[in-house]
Amino acid sequence: MSNMRGIDTPVRKTRRRVFKEVANLAYHSENLKDDMEALPYKIVDYEESEYWENVYRDRAVIRERIRLAMGMSLRPEDRDHPAHLTQGLEESNIDEKYYEPPLMQVIPSACNACPENRYEITDSCMGCVAHPCQSVCPNGAITMVKGRSVIDQDKCIKCGKCKAVCPYDAICHKERPCKHACGVGAVKSDKRGRAVIDNEICVSCGMCMVSCPFGAIADKSQIFQLIRAMQSGRKIIAQVAPAFVGQFGSKVTPEMFKTALKELGFADVYETALGADEGCMAEAEHYVKEVASGNQAFALTSCCPSWSVMAKHLFPETIDKISNELTPMVATARIIKKEHPDASVVFIGPCASKKLEASRRTVRSDVDFVITFEELAGMFEAKGILLHEIQAMDEMTDASGAGRGYGVAGGVASAIEKCINTYYPGTEIHIEHAESLAECKKILLLAKAGKMNGCLIEGMACPGGCVAGAGTNIAIPQAAKELDKFKKAAKAEVPAAKVKNAVDFENSL
């Protein structure tokens, strides 16, 4: 996982600026096409680039970022049929536009064509007499030239033994950060050595995006269309993922955040943890009835879309083990639509892959828009809403601690375990959880081999869970700490249920 997370790098500042300016277009532009054409010059208004070789490359990258932030696709690199910045704008300037895959895209002009996998000797080499690097190399790839070690890249088999034995730590391993962060091997190379994403394999977790130090990977946004929908007078209700706490400043309480969302124009605000509460009760019952009784070998959680899509792609034999319960996002959307049939629903969360979950056709999501905390920050900035100055006018007391805990790795399994202990006491429970797609793959291999029988297995694509999603604003340990406080502040530890039903069910076993 990238250790840049939570640092306010120029890449993150640029992303935020683009979201703010695109929100500004939606809120204030009277001549959208002209204002959009002028935007790269407004954002890159300097004469000499700090980062690239010139400002023209800066603007080329910004143009593609603007298109993606407007919900449009990148322009093809086709000299014979060049596309204007605003091409396709009419189709995007509406209030009902679902995400069109692919969601994650590499901006070619921003990609540095980093080495994929390479060991190099640095200036720290002392030319020692022992030169153990040469002794351990299984392929004779290291020789001494003018008293220093040199690696023949044609002979090197990338085993890393030389790096492991160097007493001066003089050998570095260069690896493409986006490729390293991808747990499913979806990042490949084009003929120029630039990164490309294989959309057949990609599960849209966004870990490549947050790991690229050049900001060359970006996802599409719906903030423009969401603002258009709000301007049209439609009733828009927000549901917020539990990971929202702390995302807009440590002094911004949940109540202040809810009031700020209403000030932004949302008719009401629900906790997505309400849907999680429904889900963990149902999953607790399923575990007791099916897994603990031996009817089913093991059970997999379904709330992380990247994890469940990966499981279906790579381990099709596990499809019947993946929970059929609605994900918290979808369950909460159903609650909202039942209470407000005339409303549109926006899910606000930390997650990139929820954008595609909302638009899939297999299970109607009832979610009309998905935006991340990072994109929401752009909307607040464009509107000039300062969250730390908001006077809280609302309460946020809907969900239990169990449902709120879904936002951190291990929290889903823990919530289900608490429900089982509360409503089905005496049931033997085996819990496993994996975070990061690489770890998720390992646990699914073990499950396939019969080593996880009797287990409830929680999978999270992002290391750390939802608090580490691609659309978060703050450092992951800080986010986990804030979520823990929010979880403990809940009025109930587990969702309320008619205990009689649980007892009746237990007696029927």
Tokens of 238: 């927000």
Whether 335 maps to a domain, the answer reads yes
Determine how many CB atoms are found less than 10 A away from the CB of residue 507: 7
Query: Considering the domain boundaries, does residue 5 fall inside one?
Result: no
The CA distance from 311 to 447, in Å, is 11
> How many structural domains compose the chain?
3
Q: Provide the residue type at 139 as one letter.
A: N
Q: What's the domain range around 354?
A: 235-508
> Which among 405, 427, 425, 423 has a CA at the least distance from the CA of 414?
405
Task: Please report the pLDDT score of residue 455 as a whole number.
Answer: 95
Half-sphere exposure of 203 (CA within 13 A, CB side): 26
Which one, of 150, 118, 145, 117, lies nearest residue 133 by Cα?
Answer: 150
Burial profile 323-353: b = 16 or more Cβ within 10 angstroms, e = fewer: bebbbbbbbbbbbbbeeeeebbbbbbbbbbb
Residue 205 within a domain = yes
Residues 378 and 327 in one domain: yes
* Helix (H) or strand (E) segment spanning residue 331: helix 328-339
**Can you read off the two tokens belonging to residue 323?**
């929970």
Single out the residue in 159, 193, 224 at which a domain terminates: 224
Residue in this structure with the two tokens 């990042």, named with its chain if needed: 187
Looking at residue 210, its amino acid is V
As given in the structure block, the two tokens for residue 232 are: 């049209």
Question: Which residues of the chain carry a pLDDT beneath 70?
Answer: 1-2, 76-83, 91-99, 361-363, 497-509
CATH number at residue 171: 3.30.70.20
Residue type, 392: A
Residue of 298, 117, 107, 315 whose CA lies nearest to 203: 315
Residue 229 falls inside a structural domain: no
Residue-level pLDDT at 211: 95
**β-sheet with 430-435: strand ranges across:** 299-300, 455-460, 430-435
Q: How far apart are CA 328 and CA 340, in angstroms?
A: 18
Residues 323 and 462 grouped into a single domain: yes
Is 2 inside any structural domain?
no
Do 245 and 96 sit in the same domain of this protein?
A: no
For residues 477 and 213, give the distance between their C-alpha atoms in angstroms, rounded to a whole number. Answer: 21
Same domain, 423 and 470: yes
The token pair that represents 212 in the structure block: 């690229």
Verify that 186 and 322 share a domain, yes or no. no
Angle (CA) 274 230 29, round 5°: 140
Neighbouring C-beta atoms of residue 31, cutoff 10 Å: 9
Q: Answer yes or no: do 151 and 220 share one domain.
A: no
Amino acid letter for position 223:
I
How far lies 313's CA from each of 203, 308, 398, 461, in Å?
9, 9, 36, 14
Q: In Å, how far are 155, 241, 288, 419, 444 from 403, measured between CA atoms?
A: 54, 10, 19, 11, 25
Give the integer Cα–Cα distance in Å for 487 and 499. Answer: 23
For residue 148, is it within any domain? yes
Compute how many other C-beta atoms are within 10 angstroms of the C-beta atom of residue 391: 7
378 and 402 co-located in one domain = yes
Q: Is residue 68 part of a domain?
A: yes
pLDDT at 113: 94
- Return the half-sphere exposure (C-beta side, CA atoms, 13 A cut-off) of residue 136: 13
> Alpha-carbon distance 223 to 68, whole Å?
11
Residue-level pLDDT at 93: 66
Answer yes or no: do 145 and 280 share one domain: no
Separation CA 405–CA 401 (nearest Å):
6
Q: Parallel, antiparallel, or unpaired: how do β-strands 187-189 and 195-197 relate?
A: antiparallel
- Residue 408 in contact with residue 276, Cβ under 8 Å? no
187 and 328: one domain?
A: no
Residue at 253 is within a domain: yes
Place of tokens 């979808």: 330
* Rounded distance between C-alpha atoms, residue 195 and residue 383, angstroms: 36
For residue 429, which of 439, 440, 420 has the smallest C-alpha distance? 420
Give the per-residue pLDDT at 508.
Answer: 45
Query: Residue 428 and residue 369: Cα distance in Å, rounded?
Result: 40
pLDDT at 507: 43
Predicted confidence at residue 502, as pLDDT, reads 38
Indicate if 321 and 447 belong to the same structural domain.
yes
My answer on whether 380 and 286 are in the same domain is: yes
The type of residue at 60 is A
Convert 336-347 into a string of H (helix), E (strand) and C (coil). HHHHCCCCEEEE
Q: Who contacts 65 (Cβ-Cβ below 8 Å, separation ≥6)?
A: 14, 15, 18, 107, 218
- Cα–Cα dist 355/206, whole Å: 11
Amino acid at 8: D
Cβ atoms of residues 392 and 468 within 8 Å? no
How far apart (Å, rounded) are the C-alpha atoms in residues 318 and 143?
49
Q: Are residues 169 and 206 in the same domain?
A: no
Is residue 144 within a helix (H) or strand (E), and if so which, with residue range?
Answer: strand 142-145
